[in-house]
Chain A
Amino acid sequence: MPGDMYKIEPFYDSTAKVELPNVMYSLQNVHTATSGSQASTPADLNMDPVSALEARQERIISKLGELRKTLDQLAGQYEAAPASKTDKTSSTGASRVKQTSNVVIPNPLGSGIHDIVINADPSSPPLSLFVLFEMLKQKFRVLATSYTHSSVTNIDSKLCELIKSGSQVTRGDHDIALSVVWKKVKYGPELVVSPAKQSVILGEVNIARYINRLLYPGFDTEDIVEATTCDEWLDTAENQLINGNSKKRNAAVKSLNVRLKKNDWTVGSQFSLVDVVMWSALHQSQLVGGAPENVQKWLNSCSSMPLFQTALKAVS
């Protein structure tokens, strides 16, 4: 028995003689103290209560001291960790972090036609969708159809004309079927691929991420640093521009302006998904007119790209 707990007298007299019947086999008395579990240290028993208490206190103090030592050791290890990390980044900062493991990215399209359904509100169309549609068309054979849901009675017919390509006649020959359903959506645009297996993808930015992954399967796995920066900007678009209040919006535009002072595009040296989404977010939050100089310049270079022509029709 551990000595650091109080001791009680046994309330069971295990030495008492009991007459056992001999009709069955006999067992060892379970209450008899075995040699292994000697009740407290024999020294304690002999000491007077005050010195016994003192001895116990000493033991506790020494144990606490040990604990303290272990903690200090751990603290030392913890302190060292961030230092080593900083070293690593500084050394690899120049040459970009690349994914080292050779994960084979499976073809996201699978076999047969890949049917993507996007539900969007006709009164606030997700503009990035139009650009992504153009990008999809460059890479895949896309059968795009715009549907008007029965819950929507008056819709701008122009909107339905914008996303349309391919012919139902040769439906089977397409890689991707893009079905845009214009209807009232509660929490922003939705993307559905397989309701049985997958939950609905919510929000314009997440939809853009999904489609971009179809276009460039490795976009957020190959270069981790760039992917993180992209994610940050995409989140800015979603949280501060599309769903933010005017204060957040202005802050986002400001930081974008700073970013674009030295760079032609928002992230990296090339035009990317982030530019598409930021462009769309700025247009939807009515920030295009009063945009600062660098942003203005960048907006213009976006708008002059052929990819943006469909989206511009939707804006006008």
Chain B
Amino acid sequence: MDNMDSGDEGQLSKKALKKQQKDAEKAAKKAQYKKQDGKENEPKGDDKDVSEGCYGDLVMIQSRERIDRKIYALKELTSDLADKKVWVRARLQTSRSKGKQCFFVLRQQKWTVQGLIYVGDKISKQMVKFVAGIHKESIIDVEGYVRTVSQKVESCTQQDVELHAEQVWVVSAAEPRLPLLIEDASRPDSEEGLATVNQDTRLDNRVIDLRTTTNQAIFRLEAGVCKLFREVLDNEGFVEIHTPKIISAASEGGANVFKVSYFKGSAYLAQSPQLYKQMCISADFEKVYTVGGVFRAEDSNTHRHLTEFVGADMEMCFNYHYHEVLDVLDKLFVSIFKGLRDRYVEEIATVGKQYPAEPFKFLEPSLRLEYKEGVAMLREAGIEMEDDEDLSTPNEKLLGRLVKAKYDTDFYILDKFPLAVRPFYTMPDPNNPAKWSNSYDFFMRGEEIMSGAQRIHDAKFLEERAKLHGIDIETIKGYIDAFRYGAPPHAGGGIGLERVTMLYLGLDNIRKSSLFPRDPKRLTP
């Protein structure tokens, strides 16, 4: 028994001994770690944090002093700056801490660079912890060395370098909880299973949504459309005019206008600069264009209607034939498309990553078909319609597809519309004045983007046409009066900037190409 006991005890004690030994080893290791840790953590107590003064929240910049310091833009960070110490100011897109180091991505507009901070001689553990804890989307100042990397940083635009930080200061902190993540908002819809942000959330938090590289590219391209529009027309000898937006009567037809209170009475928001463009023609400006807000009180919630949009309109006088104007418009569009194709390659590619679309195709000169040819093409495809029937939206789309199949172009002009479907001020065709008119529509990817015509410049004829349309002459007296004192023959048209951008990029919703869209259900932000 004793033996047994002692044996048992012996065995147990052996196990216990082993256990004790292990525990002791662990404790020793722990102590060692603690010691090491203690060494590093010591500054807390006795010594200073080695990184103190190299990180923290910056005092709110209130223009106290003007520091003479070169701040580099992220796009400048290339291998040319290798091993140079630079300052940058950018947004913290993401950060990921891993033990003694922390990787973070800095973003500035569409450029991103990878940053890295790790515990070292000058950098304390607290500092790394601080950097890892900065809220996403905060604006930070970083000083560090630009280092080339052996393997390309695939996730960033600056692929050849990364930034090894030595100082990190928070300039403007973001709230810890973001209503949407830039990462989610930049994701293509096609990536299933991962979070995407729906349209309304985006629009409610437009300020954050607009920070995505896709949106940065879309609005740069939209600015490009506007810039090219001005550039081309300026070269053609046009004058830019600014027309009033508060008007006394409806400019076109009368329906769909916003009524606003105007002191004791009421006024309307301009639905188109049409009348004023034409008045300037009567006032001998010869060629005018205008870019500005246009308001439409249409209660339609479609992918392509806004209640307020930017209209780019032009009007010019011609000598004998309205095709002189059509040629200018043709050249205008081809130049805009070519300009976009050549100058905005990067933006188009960026947008294409999130919203893939076929590249926009066009011909130079633009394809010009007559309305009846379009109708013939539709009939051939099995659509039943009259020669002078208006194009319905589905037929418009179908015609776009037919034209694309035959001519391989996303842009074309349809000339000579039926008179019956155009407004009263449209000039009838000289050869068949009852049926056709001197009017034209422009289409992009099968959707109408511009509707224009030769306008009637003869006051008497204008009155006659208005009467035929059953319009009370008194209500449009101001319009007719503009032509009583001699007016040159003229024609013109206008585009919606948002719609052109949307269709050029092949986006599915006009809200994507409007900064702060206005529709019947949205007035904010």
Task: Using CB atoms and an 8 Å cutoff, list the residues of chain A in contact with chain B.
Answer: 112-113, 115, 117, 119, 145, 147-151, 153, 168-169, 171-172, 179, 181, 183, 192-197
Contacts and interface: CB of A to CB of B under 8 A. Distances in A.
Contact of B408 (A171, A181, A196, A197): A181
Which 3 pairs show the lowest CB-CB distances between chains A and B? A195-B405, A147-B363, A148-B364
Contacts of A193: 406
B408 A183 contact: yes
Interface string B353-367: 000000111111101
A113 B371 CA distance: 12
B190 to A, nearest CB: 25
Contacts of A195: 402, 405-406
Contacts of B405: 192, 195-196
B380 interface: yes
Interface in B353-411: 359-365, 367-368, 370, 372-373, 376-377, 380-382, 402, 405-409
B364 A172 contact: no
17 contacts: A112-B376, A115-B406, A147-B409, A148-B364, A149-B362, A150-B337, A150-B341, A150-B360, A150-B364, A168-B415, A169-B321, A179-B407, A183-B408, A194-B406, A196-B380, A196-B381, A197-B380
Nearest to A155: B364
A113 B373 CA distance: 8
A245 B415 CA distance: 48
Nearest to A112: B376
Contact of B370 (A150, A171, A181): A171
Given A113-B373, A195-B402, A195-B406, A149 B361 contact: yes
A147 B381 CA distance: 25
Given A150-B363, A194-B380, 6 more contacts: A117-B407, A145-B365, A179-B367, A181-B363, A194-B377, A196-B380
B323 interface: yes
Interface of B: 321, 323, 337-338, 341-342, 359-365, 367-368, 370, 372-373, 376-377, 380-382, 402, 405-409, 415-416
Contacts of A112: 372-373, 376
Contacts of B370: 171-172
Contacts of B342: 153
Nearest to A116: B406
A244 to B, nearest CB: 29
B406 A148 contact: no
Give the dominant DSSP class at A's interface.
mixed
Contacts, number: 70
A151 to B, nearest CB: 7
B60 to A, nearest CB: 51
A148 B360 CA distance: 14
Nearest to B364: A148
Contacts of B361: 149-151
A119 B408 contact: yes
B323 A168 contact: yes
Contacts of A196: 377, 380-382, 402, 405
Give the dominant DSSP class at B's interface.
mixed
A169 B323 contact: yes
Contact of A149 (B321, B376, B408): B408
Contacts of A148: 363-364
Nearest to A145: B365
Contacts of B372: 112, 172
A288 to B, nearest CB: 32
A179 B416 CA distance: 19
A147 B368 contact: no
Nearest to A152: B364
A210 to B, nearest CB: 15
Contacts of A168: 323, 368, 415
A183 B408 CA distance: 10
A149 B359 CA distance: 12
Contacts of B337: 150
A192 B407 CA distance: 8
Nearest to A168: B368
Given A149-B361, A150-B360, A197-B380, A171 B368 contact: yes
Contacts of A145: 365
A179 B373 CA distance: 14
Contacts of B368: 168, 171
A299 B244 CA distance: 69
Contacts of B377: 194, 196
B370 to A, nearest CB: 6
Nearest to A173: B431
A86 B360 CA distance: 61
Contacts of A169: 321, 323
Contacts of B402: 195-196
A209 to B, nearest CB: 20
B413 to A, nearest CB: 9
